[in-house]
Structures are given as structure tokens and as C-alpha cells.
Amino acid sequence: MIDNYGRKINYLRVSVTDLCNLRCAYCMPAEGIRKKDHCDILNFEEIENIVRAAVLLGIDKVRITGGEPLVRNGIVQLVESIARIKGLKDLSITTNGIFLKKYARDLKRAGLHRVNISLDSLDKTKYKKITHCGELDDVLEGIIIAEEAGFSPVKINVVLMGGYNDDEIEDFVSLTLKRDIEVRFIELMPLGEAKNWPLGSFISNDTVLSKVPKLVPLPFMGHGTVARMYKLPNARGRIGLISPLSCHFCNYCNRVRVTSDGKLKPCLHSDQEIDLKNVHPDELKRLLYQGIRAKPTKHRLNTQPCSMVKRNMNEIGG
């Protein structure tokens, strides 16, 4: 479906829980969050109905996210039923990767096409510091098992934080030399826990290009592509730069989001929401249509240093 600004909207991101097994410093409060009542979270039938209605409006790409989607009970079953929806061409998940060694093969069998794994440090001590409780080895093992299960290329999301992991840029880039992996550097956004972080934490993705000048730009992939792609000469994998702050990509935005409590968010950086919970399936298509038409032309993150968005990223799903 085409929105009010001529953009083709074909991508839906669904958060299936706001809970998480990690506490990434920029995303989750260190003390965790209050667990919502079961009845306040979308059940599987509601999620399937929302995806079905979205597909009728031209959505053909769905990403399952969270919180941590792999902590949601029955996640494989949910993936299996979404994967069966006719008209859906691409089904992916964003995960911190800790539970991939348990689930990667079953997710592949269930019909999942692609996996993005968030990993902000390759150093055990720093990884634990950023996530508060994560073990780096669990994620590294999860990446290997995901590759073995047939998710290729695996994409690794790295949120760059000045003073935290900007000294690891070269190490992340080197991962692509021998493996068919896509490392995607994402600029930290002033959302959620990162809202009041010092300015020095927010660094432009141009830092990657200045630290690794050998990177060669790849052709622009067109509509819906938010990453600028690069490659090291002779490398198997690729590098993506996702730059919501330094490089406005709202003109190419092709997505809407649904939170785990059923709110449709036309834009990540706006508090505008449409409630899809407890809505009759026949009404969903109309509400989704209304939400897509309501997408703003662009966000104002670059002009307002501190985002006013009330929800944390673990609720919205990134």
C-alpha cells in the first residue's frame, strides 16, 4: 500500500513480548520491567490476524522482534503459523542470539527465512557490561548454529556507542573477511534508556568509514533499504551502515510496527498509536490502513537532541 507521501509500505515489525533475558544499558532499565498481565499482551491468534490483515494491504515482509522474541513461550509455533500465511514473502526475526543454539534449527524448519542477531561487543567483559548479564560465548555459538541451520547470510546488528565499543569497529569488520556475514552498524538513537546519555555516546556511522577506509561502497539497493552497503576487498561478507541520525532515510521508510500490547505505531519516533488489541478481525484491515495513512513524513531526531518518545525500545521492538 502507498502512504500519503508516496512511499510503498510493505514491511511490518511485530513485537511479541516486551520482556528480555538481557538488560542492554541503552534499552532496558537495569532493574528490569514489570511483567504485563497475560491478557494485556497480544495472543497468538491476535498476532496472526494482524499479520493476515496487513498482508491484505500489501505487507509482504514481517519481522518478529521484542523484547527478546525467543523468551516468548511457543515462539516456534507462532513462527510456523505466520510462515503459512499466503502472500508473505519474507519472515525474519531480530534476537540477542542467546537462545539460538536451542531454537535456530526449529525456527528454520518452522519456515523462518532470516535472522538478525544483536551483538555490541566481541569482548567478554565488555559484552557483560553492556548487557549486564549476557555471556558472549552463548551468542557466538548461536551465530554458528544459525549459520549451520541454513540462515545465510546471518546479519549482526552492532549499536555503536562512543566510549563503549567504537574501539571494536575494525574487529567487527574483520568478521566479514572469511564468513558470509553481514555486519550492520546502527547509530545509537536517543530513545528509552539512551535518552539522557551524554552527547559523546552518539557517534556518526562515518566513524566506521574513517576507521576502515578500505571499505568499498556497493550499489544502492533501492526502495525500503535503510542500510548503505560496503565491502572489504575480497571479503565474503558485507558491511551495512544504518544511520537514522546522520542520514535521514525517512523518504525510503517502508515499515510500520506493532507493540507487544497491540499498539500500531506508524513511526518509531512518534507517540502516535492505534490500538489493535481486542479488535474484531474484520476491523483490523481498516485500522491498519488508517495507521499507514497516518505515517508522518519524517522524524525530528536530528533537530531535537532528546527524543520525546515515551516507550522504551524493548516495548517497540527496534
What does 188 bind: ligand SAM, ligand SF4, none (CB cut-off 5 to 8 Å by kind)? ligand SAM
Instruction: Compute φ and ψ for 20, nearest 5 degrees.
Output: -155, 150
Residue among 225 and 285 whose Cβ is closer to ligand SAM: 225
Categorise residue 132: left if φ over 0, alpha if ψ from -120 to 50, beta otherwise: left
Give contact residues for ligand SAM (rule: CB under 6 A): 20, 26-27, 65-66, 68, 94-96, 118, 157, 159, 186, 188-189, 191-192, 194, 313-314, 317-318
Burial call 57-79: b when 16+ CB within 10 Å, e when fewer = bebebbbbbbbbbbbbeebbebb
Q: Which of 98, 104, 36 is nearest to 75 (CA)?
A: 104
CA–CA separation, 61 vs 112, rounded Å?
Answer: 11
Residue among 10 and 259 whose Cβ is closer to ligand SF4: 259
Residue among 146 and 189 whose Cβ is closer to ligand SAM: 189
What does 317 bind: ligand SAM, ligand SF4, none (CB cut-off 5 to 8 Å by kind)? ligand SAM
At 196 the three-state DSSP class reads: helix
Shortest approach of ligand SAM to residue 49 CB, angstroms? 23
Shortest approach of ligand SF4 to residue 170 CB, angstroms? 23
What does 28 bind: ligand SF4, ligand SAM, none (CB cut-off 5 to 8 Å by kind)? ligand SF4
Report how many residues bind ligand SF4 under the rule CB under 6 A: 13
Shortest approach of ligand SAM to residue 28 CB, angstroms? 9
Shortest approach of ligand SAM to residue 276 CB, angstroms? 19
CA–CA separation, 60 vs 57, rounded Å?
Answer: 9
Between the alpha carbon of residue 74 and those of residues 12, 16, 49, 158, 183, the distances in Å are: 20, 11, 17, 28, 29
238, containing H or E segment:
strand 238-242
Shortest approach of ligand SAM to residue 303 CB, angstroms? 17
Shortest approach of ligand SF4 to residue 165 CB, angstroms? 14
Chain positions 79 to 108 lying near ligand SF4, rule: CB under 6 A, are 96
Residue at 210: amino acid letter: S
Chain positions 3 to 62 lying near ligand SF4, rule: CB under 6 A, are 20, 22-24, 27-28
CA–CA separation, 30 vs 145, rounded Å?
Answer: 29
Binding mask of the shown chain, residues 108 to 147, with x at each position contacting ligand SF4 by CB under 6 A: ----------x-----------------------------
Cell numbers representing residue 159 in the block:
549499536
Determine contact, residues 7/55, Cβ cutoff 8 Å: no
Shortest approach of ligand SF4 to residue 133 CB, angstroms? 10
Provide the binding-site residues for ligand SF4, judged by CB under 6 A. Answer: 20, 22-24, 27-28, 66-68, 96, 118, 313-314
